[in-house]
């Protein structure tokens, strides 16, 4: 399979998986609340939230391991033997890290979590034992997930992402079936549901690890690299700098929640949470595409095909933003009515916050390819320091705007402002470190996308001239925007090579359908 064809397959598979999970998730969220009840539903979230630090750390390590794996796999295009040796070296290092660290975390964190369930958290006495089992199942799934990470990361490094989507489809479907059974068979489901979630998390990881061992030659432990401090130091350094950048985002989210609570009360927090959740679904769909492009960029960088890596990075900016716009543009014009149909009585400020978060997400995706290319280069210290500091700066800026009387939407203006700084910073660092042209980005990505947004929003406002708020107006607005978005994207955003690529893929797909 050619590299371009594999990327196209991965985009289709991951986008379809995310869309399927989004649709199923709308039902599953309601069924979970109905089956568990408000008390057990809240307890499930609180106890599961005790692993937030472990989940954060695992995400950082997963990004670092995936980067080193993909670079080494790409090196095999230049020198098969050297690339394979480097892949096994980094695999061994990853196995050591992902075995020792989870074991230490489990030894240290499990007693703390059990103490918190028994003595710290507010839990009804008749639910303490069930919550202890929830904590045990959560710890087991986290531990196995971290231990098996090197094998699943090798799947991503080889761009076998489409196969991973099969497991995601299966687990999503099985979870929906189980939740429907819970709703139709009332019982005390808290511990049983936690056990089921643990099985759904562990089983695919074990299957992937076994298959990866037989499929990929790189999944072999080399004894002489088990205690290679140079490799451990390189991976730890990369992880720590990325951790600072990610920590900035975490501090921004938590700090904003505290600011809103302090100045405007818990009802405003509810509006922020709902608005962020709704716009977050659009971000998930675009994020699935970025997951398909990232290993391809890393592979190209490892093969020293820097021109291809830069080209893929620009394509990531374009296509990632377009996938956001497919849902964000209709939603931005009809967000009030969408929230009313979904929640009947949505919290105050939810619609406005949703608009700000969507704007921030679009700005983020317009330069996301630059971020991936800089990470592929590996020189991330200054970039991550800039990124983390910029994101944390959202808090003092939001506080200043609140003090100036701007109100709840101070956080929205602050998030958009700092994300714009981050996006421009990515463009600058990418030009300096990996040679990505800032002028090309402005001319072929930024200006065309802004023009496309203006045209689509202008057309999308037409139904307001003759239709009242209703579900039919949402449909009319969506249809009009998509009718304009697709052809204008073709002429304004895509270049000749990208058009040829999509023509080839769709022609091949049409031929298969005819046969």
| Total Cβ atoms within 10 A of residue 487 | 9
Mean pLDDT within 369-377:
87
- 149 and 141 in contact (C-beta within 8 Å)? no
∠ at Cα 318 (462, 169), nearest 5°? 90
Contacts from 234-240 at CB under 8 Å and sequence distance 24+?
Answer: 234/68, 235/64, 235/65, 235/68, 235/90, 235/93, 235/94, 235/97, 238/64, 238/67, 238/68, 238/378, 238/380, 239/60, 239/61, 239/63, 239/64
Instruction: Encode pLDDT of 281-293 as tens digits.
Output: 666 665 666 666 7
∠ at Cα 464 (459, 468), nearest 5°? 150
Instruction: Encode pLDDT of 169-218 as tens digits.
Output: 888 889 888 888 888 888 888 888 889 988 988 899 899 899 988 888 88
Q: Where are the domains of the chain?
A: 1-227
Instruction: Encode pLDDT of 461-482 as tens digits.
Output: 999 888 888 889 999 999 999 9
- 372 and 229 in contact (C-beta within 8 Å)? no
Mean pLDDT within 351-375:
88
pLDDT of residue 38: 67
Mean pLDDT within 499-510:
67
Mean pLDDT within 300-313:
87
> Which band of pLDDT confidence, cut at 50, 70 and 90, is reported for residue 421?
very high
pLDDT of residue 366: 92
3-state secondary structure of 189: coil
pLDDT of residue 130: 86
Mean pLDDT within 70-75:
83
Query: Chain-wide mean pLDDT for the chain?
Result: 81
Instruction: Encode pLDDT of 133-182 as tens digits.
Output: 988 898 898 888 888 988 988 888 887 877 788 888 888 889 888 888 88
pLDDT of residue 431: 92
Instruction: Encode pLDDT of 222-265 as tens digits.
Output: 887 777 788 777 777 777 777 777 777 767 776 777 777 777 76
């Amino acid at each position: 399979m050619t590299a371009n064809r594999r990327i196209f397959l991965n985009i289709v598979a991951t986008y379809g998986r995310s869309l399927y999970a989004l649709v199923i998730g709308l039902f599953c969220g309601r069924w979970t609340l109905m089956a568990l009840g408000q008390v057990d539903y809240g307890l499930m979230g609180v106890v599961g939230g005790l692993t937030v630090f472990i989940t954060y750390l695992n995400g950082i390590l997963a990004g670092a391991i995936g980067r080193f794996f993909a670079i080494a796999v790409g090196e095999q295009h230049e020198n098969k033997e050297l690339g394979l040796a480097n892949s096994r070296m980094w695999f061994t290092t990853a196995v050591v890290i992902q075995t020792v660290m989870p074991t230490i975390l489990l030894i240290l964190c499990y007693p703390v979590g059990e103490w918190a369930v028994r003595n710290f958290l507010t839990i009804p006495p008749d639910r303490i034992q069930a919550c202890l089992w929830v904590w045990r199942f959560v710890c087991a799934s986290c531990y196995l997930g971290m231990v098996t990470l090197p094998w699943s990361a090798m799947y991503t490094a080889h761009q076998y992402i489409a196969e991973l989507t099969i497991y995601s489809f299966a687990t999503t479907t099985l979870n929906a079936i189980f939740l429907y059974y819970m709703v139709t068979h009332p019982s005390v489901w808290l511990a049983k549901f936690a056990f089921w979630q643990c099985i759904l998390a562990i089983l695919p990881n074990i299957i992937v690890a076994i298959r990866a061992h037989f499929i990929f030659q790189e999944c072999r432990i080399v004894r002489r690299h088990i205690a290679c401090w140079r490799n451990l130091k390189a991976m730890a350094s990369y992880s720590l700098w990325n951790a600072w950048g990610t920590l900035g985002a975490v501090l921004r989210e938590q700090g904003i929640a505290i600011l809103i609570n302090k100045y405007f009360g818990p009802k405003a927090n509810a509006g922020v949470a709902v608005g962020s959740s709704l716009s977050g679904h659009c971000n998930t769909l675009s994020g699935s595409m970025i997951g398909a492009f990232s290993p391809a960029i890393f592979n190209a960088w490892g093969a020293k095909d820097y021109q291809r890596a830069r080209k893929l990075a620009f394509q990531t900016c374009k296509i990632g933003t377009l996938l956001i716009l497919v849902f964000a543009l209709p939603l931005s014009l009809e967000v009030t009515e969408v929230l009313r149909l979904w929640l009947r009585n949505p919290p105050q400020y939810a619609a406005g916050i949703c608009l700000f978060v969507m704007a921030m997400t679009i700005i983020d995706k317009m330069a996301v390819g630059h971020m991936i290319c800089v990470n592929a280069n590996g020189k991330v210290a200054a970039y991550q320091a800039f990124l983390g500091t910029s994101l944390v700066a959202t808090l003092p800026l939001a506080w200043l705007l609140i003090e100036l009387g701007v109100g709840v939407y101070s956080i929205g203006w602050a998030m958009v402002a700092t994300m714009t700084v981050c996006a421009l910073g990515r463009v600058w660092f990418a030009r300096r470190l990996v040679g990505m042209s800032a002028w090309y980005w402005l001319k072929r990505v930024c200006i065309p996308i802004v023009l496309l947004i203006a045209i689509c929003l202008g057309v999308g406002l037409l139904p307001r001239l003759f239709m009242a708020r209703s579900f039919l107006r949402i449909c009319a607005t969506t249809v009009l925007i998509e009718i304009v978005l697709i052809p204008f994207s073709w002429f304004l955003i895509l270049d000749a090579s990208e058009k040829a690529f999509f023509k080839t893929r769709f022609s091949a797909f049409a031929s298969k359908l005819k046969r």
